[in-house]
Amino acid sequence: MTGPAETELLAADAAGIARAAELLRSGALVSFPTETVYGLGGDAADDRAVARIFDAKGRPRFNPLIAHVPDVAAVDRIAELTGRARDLAGAFWPGPLTLVLPLRADAGLSPLVSAGLTTVAVRVPDHPLARRVLEAVGRPVVAPSANPSGRISPTEAAHVVSGLGGRIEAVLDGGPCAVGVESTIVGFNPEPVLLRPGGLPTEAIESALGAPLSRRAEGAEINAPGQLSSHYAPDARVRLDAETARPGERLLGFGAVAGDVTLSESGDLVEAAANLFRMLHALDAAGDAPIAVAPIPETGLGRAINDRLRRAAAPRT
């Protein structure tokens, strides 16, 4: 399917929000900022809009989408939010947490959203523009990260335009995303299981649960590109755990390892997460020399950073 010729750039004001909501309600695709990354929004009840999201991203149809809603009352209309899932919702929503929950039979979502599964991934984002758009739309909005499938996620409107410009109707420009990595995803089997490390540190979830979070076994039931080994890839090759650059490499630094660009000079993982995709986009745009990356501690947001970097460094499929 061919997309629209031009992508409207909408300002972060009342008129921009109203236009974004009007377009979404009419079945158009609109990228909007969340606290994690920019999402590519579409009406979750509209089969054609949801199908166009898969087309615009080049995303395999078996990879389900996250439904975004403004509050817990709206979650209750589409999913079963009970027990520890409800506790996590109370502790962390709005915020960078996605819960995979049993889908309600009367949810009214397009079956493409959950790719035929009996569960649905749901998130209440913590970004004033996202929340105002969701409130104005009045229906769940599916929003994968607004990048071509397999590429680096966007943390600025310009990233969205360079990846999807001409394929989607509009981008609501809310400036850079504060968190910078995608949401942490937790499923229930029925014990809580970490499906994707992300913007909410697992330590915070474990302390709310009062118990360690189990990890999804590799190759277990859900097999989605976001969880495949090669993903989030720049064009350039990526080498991890580099203390120094080899000849011809560019170095992405962290802490004591100063690079051509540095994720956080003070070794702050929150700052590093916020900078990660922007710096990868910039390095990618600047040339195809290999990128060496300094070691990042496997703690707090470091888990999400390392997860994305390992995928960027994985052999390409």
- Mark residues 9-38: x for contact with ligand TXA by CB under 6 A, - for none: -------------------------x-xx-
Q: Given the complex with ligand TXA, which of 53 and 269 has the nearer CB atom?
A: 53
Comparison of 120 and 257: residue with beta carbon closer to ligand TXA: 120
Distances (CA, A) of 80 to 20, 72, 120, 253: 29, 11, 10, 43
**Tally of CB atoms within 10 A around 1:** 8
The partner in contact with residue 117, picked from ligand TXA, Mg ion, none with C-beta cut-offs of 5 to 8 angstroms by kind, is: ligand TXA
Among 24, 49, 172, 195, binds ligand TXA (CB under 6 A): 195
Is residue 260 a contact partner of residue 248, using CB atoms and an 8 Å limit? Answer: no
Residue 224 makes contact with ligand TXA by CB under 6 A = yes
Among 10, 69, 109, 143, binds ligand TXA (CB under 6 A): 143
Q: Is 313 helix (H, G, I), strand (E, B) or coil?
A: helix
Please report how close the Cβ of residue 242 comes to ligand TXA at its closest, in angstroms: 27
Please list the residues that pair with 32 across neighbouring strands: 39
Tokens of 239: 């080498």
Cα–Cα distance measured from residue 311 to residue 63, given in angstroms and rounded to the nearest whole number: 17
Cα-based torsion angle of the residue sequence 58, 78, 228, 235 in order, rounded to the nearest 10 degrees: 40
Nearest distance in Å: CB 25, ligand TXA: 19
Return the number of the residue (139 or 245) whose C-beta is nearest ligand TXA: 139
Residue, CB closest to Mg ion: 145
Query: Across the strands, what pairs with 68?
Result: 123, 141
Query: In the range 58-77, which residues lie near ligand TXA by CB under 6 A?
Result: 63-66
Q: Which of 31, 98, 114, 145 binds Mg ion (CB under 5 A)?
A: 145
Closest CA to 144 of 118, 129, 164, 166: 164
Burial 229-249 (b: 16+ CB within 10 A, else e): eebbbbebbbebebeebeeeb
168 and 58 Cβ atoms separated by less than 8 Å: no
What does R_g of the chain's alpha carbons equal in angstroms? 19
Residue pair 20/170 in contact by the 8 Å Cβ criterion: yes
132's contact among ligand TXA, Mg ion, none, with CB below 5 to 8 A by partner kind, is none
Q: What is the 3-state secondary structure (H, E, C) of 48-94?
A: HHHHHHHHHHCCCCCCCCEEECCCHHHHHCCECCCHHHHHHHHHHCC
78 binds, among Mg ion, ligand TXA, none (CB under 5 to 8 A by kind): none
Based on CB atoms, which residue is closest to ligand TXA, 224 or 289? 224
Determine which residue in the list 109, 134, 222, 238 makes contact with ligand TXA, applying CB under 6 A.
222
Q: Is 185 in the site for ligand TXA (CB under 6 A)?
A: yes
Give ∠ CA 300-305-311 in degrees, rounded to 5: 140
Interface of this chain with ligand TXA, residues 109 to 128, rule: CB under 6 A: 114, 117, 119-121, 123, 125
- Cβ proximity to ligand TXA, 95 vs 259, nearer residue: 95
From ligand TXA, Mg ion, none, which one binds at residue 231 (CB under 5 to 8 Å depending on kind)?
none
Q: Least distance to ligand TXA from the beta carbon of 122, Å?
A: 9
Site of interaction with ligand TXA (CB under 6 A):
34, 36-37, 39, 63-66, 98, 100, 114, 117, 119-121, 123, 125, 143-145, 182-183, 185, 187, 195-196, 222, 224, 226-227
